[in-house]
Amino acid sequence: MPLLVSIFFGFVPMFLYALFVYWLDRYEKEPKALLGAAFFWGVIIAGGGAFIINTVLGIGVYVVTASEAATNFATASIIAPIVEETLKGLAVAVVFFMFRKEFDSILDGIIYGSIVGLGFSAIENTLYIYRNGYLEGGWEGLFVLTIIRVILVGWMHAFFTAFTGIGFAIARTAKNALLKFTAPIAGLAIAIVVHAFHNTFGSVVGSGGLDSLGLTILADMVGYSIMVGIIIWVIVHERNVLKKHLAEEVSSGLISQAQYQKSLSPVTMTTAGFSGRATSRFYQVLGELAHKKDQLQRHGDEGGNAAIIDTLRQELAVLAPQAKG
């Protein structure tokens, strides 16, 4: 029973957090299957792989130093950040290289990085809640660890790996060859450094108890605030992409002025589903069309952007009469 409860508190809140991240994608939703794959990459490949590699390297440090303190520090502050962010970052890299057409913007990078981070958190939280919570402190320990891992620091892995996603997104949208190469490396490096800072900060400030936890959470909140600011900025930018590139579709008569205005609303993708599948798909395709036109303008006909645009316009011509504006 305690293990099942730990699994529940490890996974269910992270699923809910992932739904919130999905909701943030206001104007051009990412494929649910791809997001699900990213989440379970975080659970299985990143989570399972990190557990094995961290354990083996930690044992190696102990063999060399014969110091438990040195082993704990090296594992938490050096090994874990490098191993975990690299394994999580590989999921973003797979999307970037294998599903390039779905990687359209900075927000996409944040979303894929966050989703894989939440998958990692799900399995790691389950382990901590059961092993460090229940086995060491019974039911009280289980619920205390749940509060800490799910509520107080529940977003940390999503936050870390979002930087890797931003790096790949910059590479996707940049024209400069050097920036395309260095941005993913820089994003991963920032993720590792921020992760290492989080793991180390609490051990070097305060007494190591609740005050250290409080200071760590306060530092995390500063970082989260910066990320929230970035997300708001990119959502506004995505709205401007739609505003710019869909105006032509109104002039051509493909969509109505009312549909154009509704497509710019940040709540449309949330409410369109209540008006039926055709309406929901219509506004999804509008977002995809605007982003593909933006890519065509920036990067030319890479990956057949022009043909994709024609296909999307054909689909819109069928959907427009059915969609509620």
Rounded CA separation 283/151 (Å)? 34
Residue 152 has pLDDT above 90, yes or no: no
Q: What is the pLDDT of residues 51-106, one digit of tens each?
A: 999 999 999 999 999 898 899 889 989 999 999 999 999 999 999 999 887 787 89
**For residue 8, what are its two tokens?**
């529940």
Q: What is the pLDDT of residue 270?
A: 75
Work out the burial of residue 51: count CB atoms within 10 Å of its CB; fewer than 13 is exposed, 13-18 middle, 19 or more buried. Answer: middle
Give the pLDDT score at 172: 85
Residue 316: per-residue pLDDT: 87
CA 252/CA 166 separation, integer angstroms: 35
DSSP string, 147-184: IIIIIISTTHHHHHHHHHHHHHHHHHH---HHHHHHHH
For 198-252, what is each residue's pLDDT tens digit? 888 876 665 556 667 777 888 888 888 999 999 999 999 889 999 999 889 888 8
Task: Please give the Cα distance from 133 to 148 (Å, whole number).
Answer: 10
Distance CA 22, CA 3 (A): 28
Pick 112 or 224 by higher pLDDT.
Answer: 112
Mean pLDDT of 170-175: 85
Per domain, the residue ranges of the chain are: 2-204, 238-319
Higher pLDDT, 108 or 320: 108
Residue 3: exposed, middle, or buried by beta-carbon count in 10 A (0-12, 13-18, 19+)? exposed
- Reduced to 3 states, what is the DSSP secondary structure of residue 13? helix
- The predicted pLDDT at position 211 comes to 66
How far, in Å, CA of 64 to CA of 94, rounded?
A: 36
Token pair in block for residue 28: 């051009």
10 Å Cβ neighbour count for 107? 24
The answer to whether residues 283 and 323 touch, using CB atoms and an 8 Å cutoff, is: yes
Q: Which of 20-34, 45-59, 278-292 has the highest mean pLDDT?
A: 45-59
Q: In angstroms, rounded to a whole number, what is the distance separating the alpha carbons of residues 297 and 317?
A: 22
Return the amino acid letter for 277: R
